Structure 1
């Protein structure tokens, strides 16, 4: 159903992917808002940007409309009377159950306020303070006058609302900049390869669309690396032309092998039939409607030259929309075992030593829909991390079709239950029968519930403070009132409090709660030294570093953190922290952002999915913030605790996490432990000259100590930005 607001002076006409709004009577120039709301599923990956075309007496303008959760909205200025509005590239809206167009005027000052708000939010995401935003606005207003200022604000507003348009265009620039290889370069690489294994490409077909199947086969034939096999198993298709096409290619190139199954067995059985044809040292998998990048197998062969030689490899990937345009690149983490148990982030291109695939029995019948995920788990659980290799290049293109999981995560509902079964059996093979798996917060994601030992370990929560009862009391109260985990103790580390009411509170809280102690640390503020002092007095086997400006939200936060901290392979564990307004303050740390490190997804909305759902998934990360961090006491002491001499205020938590990682543990972040972090309110801003000088010394020390690692975070991707915390593409850095 398509409608336009009843009082509208506009007439709506619908065409193929185009909606035209024509005025019933002349429309004066001025500010307008176009709001398109919809219900039902839409297909934003088909065309992520919808364009608004304005026809006036002036030269026509084209402006982007960005698809949000359930609406498109844009503010625009008509400098002359409007004669036509045309919403173009709207194919994505064709699948909506209903559409409602609302077009209305806005007073200039209201439009101005809306745009200023959007620009300030953008600047906040970049770390620009509101004072600087205000100062910049005043300077521009003074220099250019109201009209000039408005023009510039309008342009800045579109920089905000065209983020996804920019991303789409940036990706095309990325492709042009990074993927071209000359024939001379390719030939030189081929000549230099000391190891040139045959790579068998396994493909299953069934009732395939011949257009896409032909393109898929052509993408193999066009590989720059010549040492391949294409092993096709048709799963009892009834299409005569499909069989003819497969036989044609079988005769055309001896590297193509085809088998025709007489009984339909579904994807796992068909893939296994394809594996029986393979003789290559390595195998990879291509869906019958997808494409390999032209240099995909060459990139794999290059990666196989390293020592030790990988036995399991995977690459980045993207999607192809209905117009043939490449969109939605997924630049992946390096080996991330906890993320793999929360989501099949590996998907394509997955390359495995054929002997390894055979040793685990190939694809398992019964987990269809998650057969690739299941195979990845069964192979990688047998391998040390050194033999698992991520190629940070886009080597595989998913084709977006009507029923493809590339378009809708829930297009194949059976995949979720199959994924749960695959992960459960993964832990059973590791003799962890008490691990439970349930569907995650999003389709085709999973939550793994690790058990708490019996008896449950004592947790010591260390909370440094200096007065600031307005922060400390809500922190302590929220822990006492909302924490379901037992047992725990709280040690308040008093760093020179001098207000009488603070000492009265200390006396009262200790008298009321035997598991709360106050220890005095009467030395100059040194976050590292204070917490090291606290650890020395801790009775718990698990240490929790907690800022005094933390506030508990849900009762299970400590249970979730402990369930991971007790795992012998895990080091530091971090939580999901929110600013007062509910936006993301911390969702793990990415190394290299801003020179040392930055918080992943900072300022994203509380319920945002994040980059490929990572805001909703347990995952391994290089570091987590010390504002709320759990670690086993033995691990903390093993690495020497927090760095007291060089990191008195900043980066001591990052340094701790990197030392823990260096010692062989995996650090982990979970979205299932949620707390507020009223960041830095207790210490004030670091804008004094002496604080800035101290901060720069700490930056220099971190770079000197960890420089190489700060430039290559294995849980991020070299194709993603180090300037912002939003996982955008790295192009001109």
Structure 2
């Protein structure tokens, strides 16, 4: 294949001349030589800035400088650069950041190895005033749900030029989040997105930069909010709403579930009682009560798969609570969680089926609506909730699979902790989801065959997660769909070596988790 020709695009406005010179040096040091650098000075007030740029252009003909007479802000300056770019690929570089010497070479190799690719992004870190490198961000594999809620692609981004032209370049009015808006529009076109898992870009920490202060540039958050709103309209989710999440530059989607969707909630139980938060409770009854109190969805079916020794008074209370929405399914065999879930599914009628443990208490409003609505989008195969222990720490924020391990991501973190790079704040793709609370469309369950009954207790959700992902569908963890999980209050869980061996032999694991490789 012919090697790509890169157009590096950099709008410049009043960086420290020393930092700008370091950026110039990092471009000139590239081991890959088929590039041009289009630099647009946006009327920087410091004359030393233009002196650095003019000197660089005089010494290197591949550097072309456009000098604006007036300040037009970053979108206009960036579009000025795009208009002059001639390469098949556009590479975005800020005016005071640094490229690794092999950055363009490695991106070119990624393009050559991925026919039809439209977007390549790399890992990054931060560089301090003293040159110290910190804050390494090992990014997930292509994660469109996370991109919707956070511009995680960031630096280094390389975009195929014809796609950038097709969407019209950067859009006026999105200064500060112009790259997020562009990334959403380009990736919506459907061309493959490739992650190059190497730190090839160093993001400089300067006063007022979001590299050093995530609260900086509030106007950028507002622009990002509008970018996501427009994105939702374009992808057919006009009834969804988008609001700011709890840290800057992250967003939350409040989704609309089609009221015509019949949702079946399958709850395996043996009707156990116990203490939670110092109060005696019947777990399954309280789970159902909390579920009904936190949903307004009308088409709802509760399928309770109960052991034969479940107390009669528990079943009577369920009938009284659920009325005609209740489907009771007796289970008279030795404990097998997978089999109980499958049996419940067979008796369920819903378009969407939610599998829910009996030892949960729903916390967030519109719980079922928010859990199930993402399944209306093409490519989403399974969704899962944020589960916290009774002490408020994280029990489930997705599964991570790596190095022969299957673990709950960020297990035990404080609920208020945003997590690394906002991982506990935003909806995002994950490797797996716990069967304690998941939702799937009926046709997906049919396609993958439900739960693997060979695993009666542990890792059956790992197997289900792998099977759904094997169909090409995505698994989405929802940061604001929240329940408390009184884990192991109704059954003591013991992991056996044969279970671990069975799931490893069936699926294996990558060396690093696909979606949180740095955790």
Query: Is TM (by shorter chain) over 0.5?
Result: yes
1:246-645 alignment runs, 5 A limit: 246-384=53-191, 387-455=192-260, 457-470=261-274, 471-497=283-309, 502-514=311-323, 515-592=325-402, 595-644=404-453
> Does structure 2 conserve the Cα–Cα contact (< 8 Å) formed by 1:596 and 1:710?
no
> Does structure 1 conserve the Cα–Cα contact (< 8 Å) formed by 2:175 and 2:220?
yes
**Structure 1 residue 710: deviation in Å?**
4.4
Q: 2:468 aligns with which of 657, 660, 675?
A: 660
**Structure 1 residue 497: deviation in Å?**
1.9
> Aligned to 2:112, what secondary structure does the other structure show?
coil
RMSD: 1.7
* TM-aligned CA distance change 1:249 to 1:484, over 3 Å: same
Alpha-carbon distance in 1 for matches of 2:91, 2:378: 33
1:611-633 CA deviation, whole Å, 9 max, x = no partner?
10110101111211000111112
1:114-161 CA deviation, whole Å, 9 max, x = no partner?
xxxxxxxxxxxxxxxxxxxxxxxxxxxxxxxxxxxxxxxxxxxxxxxx
* TM-aligned CA distance change 1:215 to 1:710, over 3 Å: closer
Structure 1 match to 2:506? 705
Alpha-carbon distance in 2 for matches of 1:505, 1:281: 67
**Structure 1 residue 427: deviation in Å?**
2.5
1:170-205 CA deviation, whole Å, 9 max, x = no partner?
xxxxxxxxxxxxxxxxxxxxxxxx542222211111
| 2:492 pairs with 1:684 | yes
> Does structure 2 conserve the Cα–Cα contact (< 8 Å) formed by 1:458 and 1:542?
yes
**Structure 1 residue 712: deviation in Å?**
5.2
**Structure 1 residue 711: deviation in Å?**
4.1
> Aligned to 2:149, what secondary structure does the other structure show?
coil
Unaligned runs of 5+ in 1: 1-193, 687-691, 721-726, 728-733
**Structure 1 residue 679: deviation in Å?**
1.2
After superposing the two structures, state which structure 1 stretch, 502-511 or 649-658, moved more: 502-511
> Does structure 2 conserve the Cα–Cα contact (< 8 Å) formed by 1:199 and 1:227?
yes
> Does structure 1 conserve the Cα–Cα contact (< 8 Å) formed by 2:398 and 2:409?
yes
* TM-aligned CA distance change 1:489 to 1:429, over 3 Å: closer
Q: 1:244 aligns with which of 35, 51, 66?
A: 51
**Structure 1 residue 681: deviation in Å?**
2.3
Structure 2 match to 1:107? none
Structure 2 match to 1:650? 458
**Structure 1 residue 286: deviation in Å?**
1.1
> Does structure 2 conserve the Cα–Cα contact (< 8 Å) formed by 1:472 and 1:549?
yes
> Does structure 2 conserve the Cα–Cα contact (< 8 Å) formed by 1:343 and 1:444?
yes
1:513-535 CA deviation, whole Å, 9 max, x = no partner?
31223221101111111111111
> Does structure 1 conserve the Cα–Cα contact (< 8 Å) formed by 2:302 and 2:322?
no
Alpha-carbon distance in 1 for matches of 2:76, 2:321: 65
**Structure 1 residue 538: deviation in Å?**
0.7
- Normalising by structure 2, we get a TM-score of 0.94
> Does structure 1 conserve the Cα–Cα contact (< 8 Å) formed by 2:285 and 2:318?
no
Larger Rg belongs to: 1
1:680-712 CA deviation, whole Å, 9 max, x = no partner?
2222141xxxxx5xx3222222222212x5445
1:14-36 CA deviation, whole Å, 9 max, x = no partner?
xxxxxxxxxxxxxxxxxxxxxxx
**Structure 1 residue 571: deviation in Å?**
1.3
Runs of 4+ deviating beyond 6 Å = none
> Does structure 1 conserve the Cα–Cα contact (< 8 Å) formed by 2:385 and 2:482?
yes
Unaligned runs of 5+ in 2: 275-282
1:582-611 CA deviation, whole Å, 9 max, x = no partner?
100000111126x24111110000110001
**Structure 1 residue 401: deviation in Å?**
0.7
**Structure 1 residue 467: deviation in Å?**
3.7
After superposing the two structures, state which structure 1 stretch, 279-288 or 574-583, moved more: 279-288
The structure showing larger relative contact order (alpha-carbon pairs under 8 Å, at least 6 residues apart) is 2
> Aligned to 1:585, what secondary structure does the other structure show?
strand
> Aligned to 1:224, what secondary structure does the other structure show?
coil
> Aligned to 2:434, what secondary structure does the other structure show?
coil
**Structure 1 residue 356: deviation in Å?**
1.7
> Aligned to 2:86, what secondary structure does the other structure show?
coil
* TM-aligned CA distance change 1:710 to 1:391, over 3 Å: closer
**Structure 1 residue 350: deviation in Å?**
0.3
Alpha-carbon distance in 2 for matches of 1:314, 1:503: 58
> Does structure 2 conserve the Cα–Cα contact (< 8 Å) formed by 1:557 and 1:672?
no
> Aligned to 1:544, what secondary structure does the other structure show?
strand
Structure 2 match to 1:670? 478
> Aligned to 1:304, what secondary structure does the other structure show?
helix
Alpha-carbon distance in 2 for matches of 1:233, 1:512: 67
1:34-183 alignment runs, 5 A limit: none
Alpha-carbon distance in 2 for matches of 1:478, 1:432: 28
Alpha-carbon distance in 2 for matches of 1:428, 1:685: 45
Alpha-carbon distance in 1 for matches of 2:180, 2:271: 52
Q: How many positions carry a matched residue from both structures?
A: 510
Alpha-carbon distance in 1 for matches of 2:479, 2:237: 23
> Aligned to 1:414, what secondary structure does the other structure show?
helix
> Does structure 1 conserve the Cα–Cα contact (< 8 Å) formed by 2:394 and 2:414?
yes
**Structure 1 residue 452: deviation in Å?**
1.4
Alpha-carbon distance in 2 for matches of 1:427, 1:576: 23
